[in-house]
Chains A and B, each alone.
Chain A
Protein backbone atom coordinates (compact mmCIF):
# COMPACT_ATOMS: atom_id res chain seq x y z
CA UNK A 1 0.00 0.00 0.00
CA UNK A 2 1.32 3.44 -0.81
CA UNK A 3 1.46 6.10 1.84
CA UNK A 4 1.34 9.78 1.16
CA UNK A 5 1.35 12.70 3.55
CA UNK A 6 0.40 16.19 2.37
CA UNK A 7 1.48 19.41 4.08
CA UNK A 8 1.33 18.10 7.62
CA UNK A 9 1.59 20.63 10.41
CA UNK A 10 1.73 19.70 14.06
CA UNK A 11 2.74 21.69 17.09
CA UNK A 12 2.81 20.97 20.80
CA UNK A 13 2.25 24.30 22.50
CA UNK A 14 4.90 26.62 21.07
CA UNK A 15 7.00 23.79 19.75
CA UNK A 16 6.63 23.11 16.04
CA UNK A 17 7.04 19.36 15.72
CA UNK A 18 6.16 19.18 12.02
CA UNK A 19 6.29 22.13 9.70
CA UNK A 20 4.69 21.52 6.31
CA UNK A 21 5.83 17.96 5.70
CA UNK A 22 4.86 16.29 2.43
CA UNK A 23 6.20 12.87 1.51
CA UNK A 24 5.40 9.86 -0.58
CA UNK A 25 6.38 6.39 0.54
CA UNK A 26 6.56 3.91 -2.32
CA UNK A 27 4.79 0.54 -2.05
CA UNK A 28 6.81 -2.39 -0.74
CA UNK A 29 9.86 -0.37 0.23
CA UNK A 30 11.62 -0.10 3.58
CA UNK A 31 12.06 3.58 4.37
CA UNK A 32 14.00 5.14 7.23
CA UNK A 33 12.94 8.40 8.88
CA UNK A 34 16.28 9.68 10.10
CA UNK A 35 17.08 12.68 12.23
CA UNK A 36 18.22 13.90 15.63
CA UNK A 37 15.87 13.60 18.60
CA UNK A 38 13.12 16.20 18.53
CA UNK A 39 13.17 16.50 14.74
CA UNK A 40 9.58 15.32 14.46
CA UNK A 41 10.19 11.88 12.96
CA UNK A 42 8.32 9.96 15.67
CA UNK A 43 5.44 12.45 15.55
CA UNK A 44 5.18 11.91 11.79
CA UNK A 45 5.15 8.14 12.27
CA UNK A 46 2.43 8.43 14.92
CA UNK A 47 0.36 10.67 12.67
CA UNK A 48 0.60 8.14 9.84
CA UNK A 49 -0.50 5.43 12.29
CA UNK A 50 -3.39 7.52 13.57
CA UNK A 51 -2.06 7.63 17.12
CA UNK A 52 -1.73 11.39 16.83
CA UNK A 53 -3.81 13.87 14.87
CA UNK A 54 -2.14 16.47 12.69
CA UNK A 55 -3.10 20.11 13.20
CA UNK A 56 -3.62 20.25 9.46
CA UNK A 57 -2.74 18.24 6.38
CA UNK A 58 -3.71 14.85 5.05
CA UNK A 59 -2.61 11.27 5.39
CA UNK A 60 -3.43 9.33 2.24
CA UNK A 61 -3.35 5.55 2.40
CA UNK A 62 -3.76 3.70 -0.91
CA UNK A 63 -5.02 6.83 -2.60
CA UNK A 64 -7.73 7.44 0.02
CA UNK A 65 -7.76 10.22 2.55
CA UNK A 66 -7.35 8.44 5.88
CA UNK A 67 -6.84 11.55 8.03
CA UNK A 68 -10.11 10.97 9.86
CA UNK A 69 -9.82 7.22 10.15
CA UNK A 70 -9.27 5.76 13.63
CA UNK A 71 -6.04 3.89 14.23
CA UNK A 72 -7.82 0.55 14.46
CA UNK A 73 -9.31 1.02 10.99
CA UNK A 74 -6.10 2.06 9.28
CA UNK A 75 -4.68 -1.46 9.01
CA UNK A 76 -1.25 -0.36 10.09
CA UNK A 77 1.09 -2.45 12.15
CA UNK A 78 2.91 -0.41 14.76
CA UNK A 79 5.98 -1.60 16.64
CA UNK A 80 6.61 0.53 19.71
CA UNK A 81 9.99 1.67 20.90
CA UNK A 82 9.61 -0.16 24.20
CA UNK A 83 7.66 -2.97 22.50
CA UNK A 84 4.48 -2.43 24.58
CA UNK A 85 3.96 -6.15 24.97
CA UNK A 86 1.04 -7.12 27.20
CA UNK A 87 2.85 -8.32 30.28
CA UNK A 88 -0.05 -10.38 31.59
CA UNK A 89 -0.34 -12.44 28.40
CA UNK A 90 1.92 -15.16 27.10
CA UNK A 91 3.85 -14.64 23.89
CA UNK A 92 1.20 -16.67 22.10
CA UNK A 93 -1.65 -14.55 23.47
CA UNK A 94 0.20 -11.37 22.62
CA UNK A 95 0.51 -12.37 18.99
CA UNK A 96 -3.06 -13.71 18.90
CA UNK A 97 -4.49 -10.50 20.39
CA UNK A 98 -5.14 -8.72 17.11
CA UNK A 99 -7.02 -11.74 15.77
CA UNK A 100 -9.08 -12.24 18.91
CA UNK A 101 -10.37 -8.67 19.03
CA UNK A 102 -11.74 -8.77 15.49
CA UNK A 103 -15.50 -8.40 15.21
CA UNK A 104 -17.17 -11.78 15.57
CA UNK A 105 -17.96 -12.10 11.87
CA UNK A 106 -14.34 -11.58 10.81
CA UNK A 107 -12.75 -13.44 13.70
CA UNK A 108 -10.90 -16.56 12.56
CA UNK A 109 -11.55 -19.90 14.25
CA UNK A 110 -9.37 -21.02 17.14
CA UNK A 111 -7.54 -23.49 14.89
CA UNK A 112 -6.77 -20.80 12.33
CA UNK A 113 -5.56 -18.44 15.06
CA UNK A 114 -3.31 -21.17 16.43
CA UNK A 115 -1.80 -21.94 13.07
CA UNK A 116 -1.32 -18.31 12.18
CA UNK A 117 0.38 -17.45 15.48
CA UNK A 118 2.74 -20.38 15.19
CA UNK A 119 3.56 -19.46 11.59
CA UNK A 120 4.38 -15.93 12.69
CA UNK A 121 6.45 -17.11 15.61
CA UNK A 122 8.30 -19.38 13.20
CA UNK A 123 8.83 -16.40 10.89
CA UNK A 124 10.51 -14.46 13.71
CA UNK A 125 12.27 -17.70 14.74
CA UNK A 126 10.84 -17.75 18.26
CA UNK A 127 8.27 -20.55 18.05
CA UNK A 128 9.78 -22.21 21.11
CA UNK A 129 8.89 -19.21 23.31
CA UNK A 130 5.12 -19.35 22.75
CA UNK A 131 4.23 -20.12 26.37
CA UNK A 132 6.60 -17.67 28.01
CA UNK A 133 5.66 -14.29 29.45
CA UNK A 134 7.28 -11.12 28.10
CA UNK A 135 9.20 -10.61 31.36
CA UNK A 136 11.06 -13.86 30.66
CA UNK A 137 12.40 -12.70 27.29
CA UNK A 138 15.51 -10.79 26.30
CA UNK A 139 15.23 -7.38 24.66
CA UNK A 140 15.89 -8.73 21.19
CA UNK A 141 13.30 -11.47 21.63
CA UNK A 142 10.71 -8.97 22.84
CA UNK A 143 11.34 -6.84 19.79
CA UNK A 144 10.76 -9.77 17.47
CA UNK A 145 7.57 -10.76 19.32
CA UNK A 146 6.32 -7.19 19.01
CA UNK A 147 6.95 -7.44 15.29
CA UNK A 148 5.15 -10.78 15.02
CA UNK A 149 2.21 -9.32 16.92
CA UNK A 150 2.02 -6.36 14.55
CA UNK A 151 2.17 -8.66 11.53
CA UNK A 152 -0.62 -10.92 12.81
CA UNK A 153 -3.37 -8.59 11.62
CA UNK A 154 -1.82 -8.53 8.13
CA UNK A 155 -1.19 -4.81 8.11
CA UNK A 156 -0.80 -3.06 4.81
CA UNK A 157 1.87 -0.86 6.34
CA UNK A 158 4.40 -1.61 9.02
CA UNK A 159 5.55 1.29 11.19
CA UNK A 160 8.47 0.87 13.57
CA UNK A 161 9.42 3.48 16.17
CA UNK A 162 13.14 3.29 16.99
CA UNK A 163 12.97 -0.48 16.63
CA UNK A 164 16.49 -1.08 17.89
CA UNK A 165 16.76 1.89 20.23
CA UNK A 166 16.54 -0.02 23.48
CA UNK A 167 18.97 -2.81 22.56
CA UNK A 168 22.67 -3.16 23.15
CA UNK A 169 25.12 -2.69 20.30
CA UNK A 170 25.66 -6.32 19.35
CA UNK A 171 22.01 -7.38 19.34
CA UNK A 172 21.21 -4.23 17.45
CA UNK A 173 23.52 -5.12 14.58
CA UNK A 174 22.16 -8.66 14.33
CA UNK A 175 18.57 -7.55 14.51
CA UNK A 176 18.81 -4.93 11.82
CA UNK A 177 20.22 -7.42 9.32
CA UNK A 178 17.44 -9.74 10.31
CA UNK A 179 14.84 -7.00 9.78
CA UNK A 180 16.25 -6.36 6.31
CA UNK A 181 15.98 -10.04 5.39
CA UNK A 182 12.49 -10.23 6.88
CA UNK A 183 11.37 -7.27 4.81
CA UNK A 184 12.74 -8.90 1.68
CA UNK A 185 10.54 -11.89 2.53
CA UNK A 186 7.26 -10.14 3.31
CA UNK A 187 7.50 -6.94 1.25
CA UNK A 188 5.14 -4.90 3.38
CA UNK A 189 5.56 -1.17 2.93
CA UNK A 190 7.55 -0.28 6.02
CA UNK A 191 8.70 2.91 7.69
CA UNK A 192 11.05 2.95 10.61
CA UNK A 193 12.24 5.82 12.73
CA UNK A 194 15.84 6.05 13.86
CA UNK A 195 18.40 8.57 15.02
CA UNK A 196 21.26 6.25 14.10
CA UNK A 197 22.55 7.10 10.62
CA UNK A 198 24.47 3.85 10.29
CA UNK A 199 21.27 1.93 10.94
CA UNK A 200 19.33 3.94 8.37
CA UNK A 201 21.98 3.67 5.69
CA UNK A 202 22.48 -0.05 6.20
CA UNK A 203 18.88 -1.21 6.38
CA UNK A 204 16.68 1.14 4.35
CA UNK A 205 15.85 1.25 0.67
CA UNK A 206 15.27 4.93 1.03
CA UNK A 207 16.15 7.48 3.68
CA UNK A 208 14.15 10.57 4.68
CA UNK A 209 16.31 13.03 6.58
CA UNK A 210 14.46 15.33 8.93
CA UNK A 211 15.52 18.26 11.05
CA UNK A 212 13.45 20.68 13.14
CA UNK A 213 10.16 19.48 11.75
CA UNK A 214 11.19 19.74 8.12
CA UNK A 215 12.33 17.27 5.49
CA UNK A 216 15.94 17.96 4.53
CA UNK A 217 16.47 15.31 1.89
CA UNK A 218 14.95 12.15 0.48
CA UNK A 219 16.99 9.57 -1.37
CA UNK A 220 18.68 6.20 -1.42
CA UNK A 221 21.40 5.67 1.17
CA UNK A 222 24.07 6.26 -1.50
CA UNK A 223 22.44 9.45 -2.70
CA UNK A 224 22.10 11.04 0.70
CA UNK A 225 25.58 10.03 1.76
CA UNK A 226 27.41 11.01 -1.41
CA UNK A 227 25.32 14.00 -2.46
CA UNK A 228 24.03 15.63 0.69
CA UNK A 229 21.52 18.32 -0.23
CA UNK A 230 22.02 20.53 2.77
CA UNK A 231 24.72 21.34 5.33
CA UNK A 232 22.59 19.54 7.93
CA UNK A 233 22.61 16.31 5.97
CA UNK A 234 26.33 16.64 5.45
CA UNK A 235 27.14 16.95 9.10
CA UNK A 236 24.51 14.49 10.28
CA UNK A 237 25.71 11.62 8.08
CA UNK A 238 29.19 10.70 9.25
CA UNK A 239 32.13 12.84 10.24
CA UNK A 240 32.86 15.91 8.24
CA UNK A 241 35.38 18.76 8.09
CA UNK A 242 34.02 22.30 7.99
CA UNK A 243 35.63 25.30 6.35
CA UNK A 244 34.11 28.74 6.79
CA UNK A 245 35.04 31.20 4.07
CA UNK A 246 34.02 33.28 1.08
CA UNK A 247 33.44 31.89 -2.36
CA UNK A 248 35.35 33.43 -5.28
CA UNK A 249 35.02 31.68 -8.62
CA UNK A 250 36.74 28.32 -8.52
CA UNK A 251 37.99 28.69 -5.01
CA UNK A 252 36.88 29.29 -1.44
CA UNK A 253 38.99 31.70 0.57
CA UNK A 254 39.50 30.35 4.06
CA UNK A 255 41.52 32.92 5.96
CA UNK A 256 44.73 33.37 4.02
CA UNK A 257 44.28 30.03 2.24
CA UNK A 258 42.41 28.95 -0.83
CA UNK A 259 40.56 25.69 -1.46
CA UNK A 260 39.36 24.46 -4.84
CA UNK A 261 35.71 23.43 -4.82
CA UNK A 262 33.77 21.17 -7.14
CA UNK A 263 31.46 23.84 -8.47
CA UNK A 264 28.78 25.82 -6.66
CA UNK A 265 25.63 27.77 -7.28
CA UNK A 266 26.44 30.30 -4.60
CA UNK A 267 27.05 33.86 -5.79
CA UNK A 268 30.62 35.08 -5.75
CA UNK A 269 31.63 36.92 -2.62
CA UNK A 270 29.02 35.37 -0.39
CA UNK A 271 29.88 33.81 2.92
CA UNK A 272 29.89 30.03 2.67
CA UNK A 273 30.52 26.89 4.62
CA UNK A 274 32.38 24.15 2.77
CA UNK A 275 32.32 20.46 3.65
CA UNK A 276 34.72 17.60 3.03
CA UNK A 277 34.51 14.13 4.54
CA UNK A 278 37.71 12.73 6.11
CA UNK A 279 38.36 10.49 3.11
CA UNK A 280 37.83 13.42 0.75
CA UNK A 281 40.89 15.24 2.11
CA UNK A 282 44.51 14.59 1.49
CA UNK A 283 47.69 15.92 3.05
CA UNK A 284 50.50 17.77 1.33
CA UNK A 285 53.79 19.17 2.54
CA UNK A 286 54.17 21.33 -0.57
CA UNK A 287 53.77 25.00 0.47
CA UNK A 288 52.39 25.77 -3.01
CA UNK A 289 49.34 23.48 -2.44
CA UNK A 290 45.89 25.01 -2.37
CA UNK A 291 45.08 23.89 1.14
CA UNK A 292 44.53 24.85 4.76
CA UNK A 293 47.56 25.02 7.02
CA UNK A 294 47.47 22.65 10.02
CA UNK A 295 49.58 20.64 12.44
CA UNK A 296 49.28 16.88 12.89
CA UNK A 297 48.22 16.02 16.42
CA UNK A 298 47.83 12.28 16.24
CA UNK A 299 48.05 9.48 13.70
CA UNK A 300 45.85 6.51 14.55
CA UNK A 301 46.05 3.38 12.48
CA UNK A 302 43.42 0.66 12.52
CA UNK A 303 43.95 -2.14 10.05
CA UNK A 304 44.42 -0.78 6.55
CA UNK A 305 43.36 2.81 7.21
CA UNK A 306 44.83 5.61 9.24
CA UNK A 307 42.97 8.45 10.87
CA UNK A 308 44.93 11.65 11.20
CA UNK A 309 43.78 14.34 13.61
CA UNK A 310 44.95 17.87 12.93
CA UNK A 311 44.61 21.33 14.41
CA UNK A 312 44.50 24.45 12.26
CA UNK A 313 47.38 26.96 12.33
CA UNK A 314 47.14 30.70 11.77
CA UNK A 315 49.72 32.85 9.95
CA UNK A 316 51.83 33.08 13.08
CA UNK A 317 51.94 29.29 13.26
CA UNK A 318 49.76 29.45 16.43
CA UNK A 319 47.11 26.75 16.91
CA UNK A 320 43.53 27.79 16.19
CA UNK A 321 40.40 26.18 17.56
CA UNK A 322 39.69 24.34 14.29
CA UNK A 323 39.98 20.56 14.38
CA UNK A 324 40.29 18.43 11.26
CA UNK A 325 40.21 14.74 10.54
CA UNK A 326 41.65 12.98 7.52
CA UNK A 327 41.35 9.35 6.52
CA UNK A 328 44.13 7.85 4.43
CA UNK A 329 45.26 4.34 3.66
CA UNK A 330 48.22 3.05 5.56
CA UNK A 331 50.21 3.06 2.31
CA UNK A 332 49.44 6.71 1.62
CA UNK A 333 50.59 7.66 5.10
CA UNK A 334 53.83 5.77 4.54
CA UNK A 335 54.49 7.37 1.16
CA UNK A 336 53.70 10.88 2.48
CA UNK A 337 56.11 10.28 5.30
CA UNK A 338 54.18 12.39 7.84
CA UNK A 339 54.48 12.20 11.59
CA UNK A 340 52.90 13.82 14.61
CA UNK A 341 53.98 17.45 14.92
CA UNK A 342 54.47 18.02 11.19
CA UNK A 343 53.05 21.20 9.70
CA UNK A 344 51.11 20.34 6.55
CA UNK A 345 48.46 21.54 4.08
CA UNK A 346 45.00 19.95 3.92
CA UNK A 347 43.89 19.66 0.33
CA UNK A 348 40.33 18.63 -0.50
CA UNK A 349 39.80 16.12 -3.27
CA UNK A 350 36.14 17.02 -3.21
CA UNK A 351 34.60 20.05 -1.56
CA UNK A 352 30.89 20.88 -1.31
CA UNK A 353 29.91 24.48 -0.78
CA UNK A 354 26.75 25.81 0.85
CA UNK A 355 25.68 29.33 1.53
CA UNK A 356 26.30 30.28 5.15
CA UNK A 357 22.99 31.15 6.76
CA UNK A 358 24.01 32.57 10.07
CA UNK A 359 23.53 29.39 12.03
CA UNK A 360 26.27 26.91 11.40
CA UNK A 361 25.02 23.42 10.64
Chain B
Protein backbone atom coordinates (compact mmCIF):
# COMPACT_ATOMS: atom_id res chain seq x y z
CA UNK B 1 0.00 0.00 0.00
CA UNK B 2 1.32 3.43 -0.96
CA UNK B 3 1.51 6.32 1.44
CA UNK B 4 -1.56 8.54 1.10
CA UNK B 5 0.45 11.69 1.66
CA UNK B 6 3.46 11.39 -0.64
CA UNK B 7 2.15 8.58 -2.85
CA UNK B 8 5.76 7.46 -3.29
CA UNK B 9 6.81 5.35 -0.35
CA UNK B 10 5.18 2.32 1.18
CA UNK B 11 2.76 3.07 3.98
CA UNK B 12 4.03 1.50 7.17
CA UNK B 13 1.85 3.39 9.64
CA UNK B 14 -1.85 2.68 9.77
CA UNK B 15 -3.94 4.97 11.90
CA UNK B 16 -7.57 4.49 12.76
CA UNK B 17 -9.29 7.50 14.22
CA UNK B 18 -12.78 7.45 15.66
CA UNK B 19 -14.21 10.85 16.24
CA UNK B 20 -17.90 11.74 16.68
CA UNK B 21 -18.84 8.19 15.77
CA UNK B 22 -17.04 8.56 12.45
CA UNK B 23 -14.28 6.15 11.72
CA UNK B 24 -11.47 7.25 9.45
CA UNK B 25 -8.31 5.47 8.42
CA UNK B 26 -4.98 6.83 7.36
CA UNK B 27 -2.10 4.95 5.77
CA UNK B 28 1.18 6.83 5.59
CA UNK B 29 4.91 6.28 5.57
CA UNK B 30 7.13 7.06 8.53
CA UNK B 31 8.66 10.15 6.94
CA UNK B 32 5.29 11.77 6.24
CA UNK B 33 4.12 10.80 9.73
CA UNK B 34 7.08 12.64 11.19
CA UNK B 35 6.42 15.66 8.99
CA UNK B 36 2.83 15.73 10.17
CA UNK B 37 3.95 15.51 13.76
CA UNK B 38 2.63 12.03 14.39
CA UNK B 39 4.85 10.43 16.98
CA UNK B 40 5.88 6.91 16.22
CA UNK B 41 7.52 4.75 18.80
CA UNK B 42 9.89 2.42 17.09
CA UNK B 43 10.74 0.51 20.16
CA UNK B 44 9.01 0.29 23.47
CA UNK B 45 11.50 1.40 26.09
CA UNK B 46 12.65 -1.50 28.18
CA UNK B 47 11.38 -0.17 31.47
CA UNK B 48 7.91 0.37 29.99
CA UNK B 49 7.88 -3.17 28.72
CA UNK B 50 9.00 -4.47 32.08
CA UNK B 51 6.48 -2.58 34.13
CA UNK B 52 3.63 -3.41 31.79
CA UNK B 53 4.54 -7.09 31.82
CA UNK B 54 4.85 -7.10 35.57
CA UNK B 55 1.59 -5.30 36.15
CA UNK B 56 -0.19 -7.91 34.03
CA UNK B 57 1.58 -10.55 36.06
CA UNK B 58 0.65 -8.95 39.35
CA UNK B 59 -3.01 -8.66 38.34
CA UNK B 60 -3.05 -12.30 37.31
CA UNK B 61 -1.59 -13.35 40.60
CA UNK B 62 -3.85 -11.16 42.67
CA UNK B 63 -6.96 -12.58 41.03
CA UNK B 64 -5.68 -16.05 41.81
CA UNK B 65 -5.30 -15.11 45.46
CA UNK B 66 -8.10 -14.85 47.97
CA UNK B 67 -9.58 -17.88 49.64
CA UNK B 68 -6.49 -19.98 49.01
CA UNK B 69 -4.53 -17.42 50.97
CA UNK B 70 -2.02 -17.16 48.15
CA UNK B 71 0.22 -14.18 48.57
CA UNK B 72 -0.38 -11.27 46.28
CA UNK B 73 2.55 -10.82 43.95
CA UNK B 74 2.81 -7.19 45.08
CA UNK B 75 3.84 -8.29 48.50
CA UNK B 76 6.71 -10.55 47.54
CA UNK B 77 9.85 -9.38 49.29
CA UNK B 78 13.30 -10.94 49.18
CA UNK B 79 14.45 -11.74 52.74
CA UNK B 80 18.10 -11.35 51.75
CA UNK B 81 18.17 -7.90 50.16
CA UNK B 82 14.73 -6.46 50.93
CA UNK B 83 13.80 -5.95 47.28
CA UNK B 84 10.06 -6.15 46.61
CA UNK B 85 8.38 -7.11 43.39
CA UNK B 86 6.63 -3.77 43.36
CA UNK B 87 9.87 -1.85 43.60
CA UNK B 88 11.43 -4.04 40.96
CA UNK B 89 8.64 -3.30 38.50
CA UNK B 90 9.43 0.39 38.88
CA UNK B 91 13.23 0.29 38.82
CA UNK B 92 13.55 -2.83 36.61
CA UNK B 93 16.58 -3.81 38.67
CA UNK B 94 16.91 -6.70 41.09
CA UNK B 95 18.57 -6.42 44.48
CA UNK B 96 20.58 -9.64 44.75
CA UNK B 97 21.11 -13.01 43.04
CA UNK B 98 18.63 -14.60 45.45
CA UNK B 99 15.82 -12.52 43.87
CA UNK B 100 15.91 -14.88 40.91
CA UNK B 101 14.63 -17.59 43.28
CA UNK B 102 12.29 -15.43 45.34
CA UNK B 103 10.54 -13.89 42.31
CA UNK B 104 10.88 -17.08 40.32
CA UNK B 105 7.46 -17.24 38.74
CA UNK B 106 6.89 -13.64 37.66
CA UNK B 107 10.50 -13.38 36.53
CA UNK B 108 10.36 -16.55 34.50
CA UNK B 109 7.62 -15.26 32.24
CA UNK B 110 9.22 -11.83 32.04
CA UNK B 111 12.56 -13.36 31.06
CA UNK B 112 10.99 -15.64 28.47
CA UNK B 113 9.19 -12.73 26.89
CA UNK B 114 12.15 -10.41 26.80
CA UNK B 115 14.48 -13.20 25.65
CA UNK B 116 12.47 -14.40 22.64
CA UNK B 117 11.05 -17.35 24.54
CA UNK B 118 14.36 -18.63 25.86
CA UNK B 119 14.81 -19.55 29.48
CA UNK B 120 18.03 -21.58 29.64
CA UNK B 121 21.60 -20.41 29.52
CA UNK B 122 23.62 -22.00 26.70
CA UNK B 123 26.76 -19.92 26.90
CA UNK B 124 30.00 -20.12 28.78
CA UNK B 125 30.22 -21.32 32.36
CA UNK B 126 32.78 -20.23 34.94
CA UNK B 127 35.86 -22.45 34.97
CA UNK B 128 35.48 -23.10 38.66
CA UNK B 129 32.21 -24.60 39.75
CA UNK B 130 30.14 -21.86 41.34
CA UNK B 131 29.15 -22.34 44.95
CA UNK B 132 25.51 -22.87 45.72
CA UNK B 133 23.25 -19.84 45.94
CA UNK B 134 22.74 -20.72 49.62
CA UNK B 135 26.37 -20.09 50.30
CA UNK B 136 26.19 -16.68 48.60
CA UNK B 137 23.16 -15.76 50.69
CA UNK B 138 24.92 -16.75 53.87
CA UNK B 139 27.92 -14.64 52.94
CA UNK B 140 25.66 -11.67 52.20
CA UNK B 141 24.01 -12.01 55.59
CA UNK B 142 27.34 -12.39 57.35
CA UNK B 143 28.61 -9.20 55.69
CA UNK B 144 25.62 -7.34 57.09
CA UNK B 145 26.26 -8.73 60.56
CA UNK B 146 29.91 -7.79 60.23
CA UNK B 147 28.99 -4.20 59.47
CA UNK B 148 26.65 -4.04 62.44
CA UNK B 149 29.30 -5.48 64.74
CA UNK B 150 31.83 -2.92 63.55
CA UNK B 151 29.32 -0.14 64.02
CA UNK B 152 28.66 -1.35 67.56
CA UNK B 153 32.42 -1.52 68.10
CA UNK B 154 32.09 -5.20 68.98
CA UNK B 155 35.39 -6.16 67.40
CA UNK B 156 35.54 -9.62 68.90
CA UNK B 157 32.32 -10.64 67.13
CA UNK B 158 33.44 -8.80 64.02
CA UNK B 159 36.65 -10.83 63.87
CA UNK B 160 34.69 -14.07 64.23
CA UNK B 161 32.30 -13.11 61.46
CA UNK B 162 35.18 -12.11 59.22
CA UNK B 163 36.74 -15.54 59.70
CA UNK B 164 33.43 -17.16 58.85
CA UNK B 165 33.18 -15.14 55.64
CA UNK B 166 36.70 -16.10 54.68
CA UNK B 167 35.95 -19.76 55.28
CA UNK B 168 32.92 -19.63 53.05
CA UNK B 169 34.63 -17.91 50.17
Report whether chain A binds chain B. Answer: no
